[in-house]
Amino acid sequence: MRKILILAGGGGHTGYAQILADELKGRAELSFLSPDDEPISVRRLEGYGSVRTMTKPRHPTTPALTFLWKLLKAFFESLNRIPSDIDVVVSTGSSFCVPPAIVAWMKRIPVVNLESRVKFTKPSGTASLLRRFSRLTALQWEEQKGFLEGTVFGPLLPRRLVESSDGGYILVSGGTYGYKELFDALDETDLENVVLQTGKIDGGSYAKAHPGWRVISYSDRFYELIAGARVVVSPPGGTPVEAVAYGKPVVIVEYPAWTKAADLEETRLFAEKIGASLITDVTAEKLVSAIEEAQHRPPKALEAGNKELVEAILSIAGHGNV
């Protein structure tokens, strides 16, 4: 079988890697690179193949000098993390993927780069850079053809691993890093049947204030919580799309402190594309209102591009290094 290395950048980008791995399992020999400070990514992928880790140069709040130092370190580590016998390297679009993808290109290994599902008006920084080194730039929406040369496959959607049901609870996810402003707004509501996923933020104070809530940092079986939720509340990224795949109403809460005005427009378009309610400045009142609205707004049906993209990756792998 062909050897395929998937670069999993953590968070939603690891979600992309897992979606591709589900489709490629049994059809290729899979291996992965994952950030060394995100062990949950390793646990999500190790059932599909070998997982090695390396430095992730940038997180949302990484200072510029720290980023430059870690970027150089990541390039150095990549030299020993990219075997020369790999048939194709797949980048899931995170900045984490840039050093190993460029090293793969230097070793004459074909690179496939996936553009983000939340880009509608301009390319991501990773796609802007890696398009010069990629055999294929995989697009998830037709709108992305307006600013990036590539092939549209459709959105990557996870498989349903369990049956969808209504457990009656509201699932609030903070993603990998957590979202304190969202959690504080939720804390001020009278909502009772809540499952709160806090990421890297300590959820102890929320659990103490709301004994009826279930508060967790992470879950290796997070899809089960999505499948049983009444409504899913999350920042933009992987969780909203996974919720739509399970037929769940979605509320997207933007990160105003982390984004620019143009990014807020991207999020608005993303919410419209998947049929989600949107909050750009979270308060307790807006959160309760959006959850109520979402329950009367079914998510849109999306046609997955998983299989077509996998066939393209296998075709490139079949041609070997050139």
The predicted pLDDT at position 58 comes to 87
Q: Helix/strand/coil (H, E, C) string of 228-258? A: HEEEEEECCCHHHHHHHHCCCCEEEECCHHH
State the fold for domain 169-294: Rossmann fold (3.40.50)
pTM for the whole structure:
0.89
- Tell me what pLDDT residue 258 has: 58
Domains 3-156+304-318 and 169-294 share a fold: yes
Fold of 3-156+304-318: Rossmann fold (3.40.50)
- Tell whether the model's pLDDT for residue 27 goes beyond 80: yes
Please give the residue that has the higher pLDDT: either 297 or 131.
131
pLDDT of residue 237: 85
**Strand (E) or helix (H) holding 30:** strand 29-35
Q: Name every residue whose Cβ is closer than 8 Å to that of residue 26 and which is 6 or more positions away in sequence.
A: none
Least confident of 71-85, 118-132, 160-174, 291-305: 291-305
Residue 259 has pLDDT above 70, yes or no: no
pLDDT of residue 11: 83
pLDDT for residue 322: 42
Work out the number of other CB atoms within 10 angstroms of the CB of residue 67: 14
Cα–Cα distance for residue pair 99/107, rounded to 1 Å: 12
Helix (H, G, I), strand (E, B), or coil: what is residue 272? helix
Residue ranges per domain, the chain? 3-156+304-318, 169-294
Q: How many CB atoms lie within 10 A of CB 167?
A: 14
Mean pLDDT for the chain? 93
Say yes or no to pLDDT of 264 above 90.
no
CA 144/CA 82 separation, integer angstroms: 29
